[in-house]
Amino acid sequence: MLKLTKKVDYALLALNLMAKSGEDGISNVRDIASLYSIPPEILAKVMQKLSKAGLIQSHNAPKGGYSLKVQAEEISVLKVLTAVEGPVGIVSCSDGTDRTCQQHDQCDIRSPLERLQNNILWFLEALSIRELGQEPAVLKGVTDGSSVFGQPLHHKG
C-alpha cells in the first residue's frame, strides 16, 4: 500500500541513467535492462510509455535507443508516475476510477484526504529526475530548512 510499482522503479532508474549520460546520450533497452537486472521486455514497455508521454525520444534503428526529449530538470517524478501508471490518486474516489463507491454518500473525510493527496502530488512534482541522481551530500545543502526535501519524519514527540 502506498508503494511505487516496479515499473516506476525501472522508469526512474532508466531516466536517472539517461540523465547522467548527458544531453544527447542514447541508451538502448537491452543495455539498461542488463545493467540493472531488469527483464528487457518489461523495460521496453515502460520506455515506450515514457516515449508516448513525450519525456524521451526514441531512435528506432540499429545503434538506436532512447534519449531524453526534455532536460532532466523538467522531468518530475510525478510525470514519470503518470506516464507509466496513469493518473495518481491515493483515494480511489478522486481519480474517477471508482464510480460505484459504496461509501460515497456517507463519506465525510474526502476533503482532507484530497488535500493530503495534493500535498503528496506536489512533492512528486517538485522532485525532478535531475535531483534524483544527486548524492545525499550534494542534495543536503539545498534541502535543509526551507526546501521541501529532508524534513524530519516526526514533527512532534
Partner DNA sequence: TTATCACAGACCAAAATGATCTGCGATAAT
Partner DNA sequence: ATTATCGCAGATCATTTTGGTCTGTGATAA
Residues making contact with DNA (CB under 7 A):
1, 3, 5-7, 28-30, 39, 41-42, 44-45, 47-48, 51-52, 58-66, 85, 97
**Which is closer to its own copies, CB of 24 or CB of 105?**
105
**List 53, 125, 144, 146, residue binding its own copies (CB under 8 A):** 125
Question: Shortest approach of its own copies to residue 106 CB, angstroms?
Answer: 5
> Residue 133 is placed in which grid cell?
541522481
Distance CA 21, CA 101 (A): 46
**List 55, 113, 144, 146, residue binding its own copies (CB under 8 A):** 113
Contact partner, 72, from DNA, its own copies, none, Cβ < 5-8 Å per class: none
Give the N- to C-terminal CA distance of the chain in Å, as an integer.
25
**List 109, 141, 145, 146, residue binding its own copies (CB under 8 A):** 109
Binding of residue 131 to its own copies (CB under 8 A):
yes
Binding of residue 119 to its own copies (CB under 8 A):
yes
Place of cell 532532466: 72
Question: Shortest approach of its own copies to residue 103 CB, angstroms?
Answer: 5
Which three-class secondary structure string do you get for the chain? CCCCCHHHHHHHHHHHHHHHCCCCCCECHHHHHHHHCCCHHHHHHHHHHHHHCCCEEEECCCCCEEEECCCHHHCEHHHHHHHHHCCCCCCHHHHCCCCCCCCCCCCCCHHHHHHHHHHHHHHHHHCEHHHHCCCHHHHHHHHCCCCCCCCCCCCCC
The binding site for its own copies (CB under 8 A) comprises 1-6, 8-9, 12-13, 16, 35-38, 77, 81, 85, 88-92, 102-103, 106-109, 111-113, 115-116, 118-127, 131-136, 139, 143, 148-155
